[in-house]
A and B are shown apart, each in its own frame.
Chain A
Amino acid sequence: DAMVIQNPRYQVTQFGKPVTLSCSQTLNHNVMYWYQQKSSQAPKLLFHYYDKDFNNEADTPDNFQSRRPNTSFCFLDIRSPGLGDAAMYLCATSREMDSPSYNEQFFGPGTRLTVL
């Protein structure tokens, strides 16, 4: 089945220790997204890639970076995690559609990050 895969599902890191979360997709979608979701809140978009074009949300901290080496993979790097970065991180994909804008997104299961 075509899907969005996130590894690991649970990640524990120490305060200030860099961490990388990964996402892969078999849907061949050209748009990939990273969201941060804190408990009982809506997902908050961090950034997205349209093919190789990187689009950062204005309020995404510099502490968060992303890489997309190819269509299938996308990585979220947190350079110096703080306690406030503990959250679920969701990866999603969508395919480009012609007008009207259409943005059904397919989500991965998420990676729950704990910062000690």
Chain B
Amino acid sequence: DIQMTQSPSTLSASVGDRVTITCRASQSISGWLAWYQQKPGKAPRLLIYQVSSLESGVPSRFSGSGSGTEFTLTISSLQPDDFATYYCQQYSSVWTFGQGTKVEIK
């Protein structure tokens, strides 16, 4: 299976900060990557698919980039509603997720 490794595991930030989360694949996944946001007790919410396509209704402060094996999710200006755990997912072969990045209030 393709392993997805996110960094950092935990990120402490303040409202207004620019935040970047990295996801690395153990082999090339081309552009088959999505990002999700999950809040406690809730289902994940799709933010971005195909590396950089913003899901309908998702604020434009979220963006994605990358190719091959390295990808990033960027939040341009962190808002109070953004404190959550973020997961990447590859769907190149057997679908796998990263271990998650928890964005905490600094």
The answer on A and B forming one complex is no
Interface residues of A (CB under 8 A from B): none
- Chain B residues within CB distance 8 Å of chain A: none
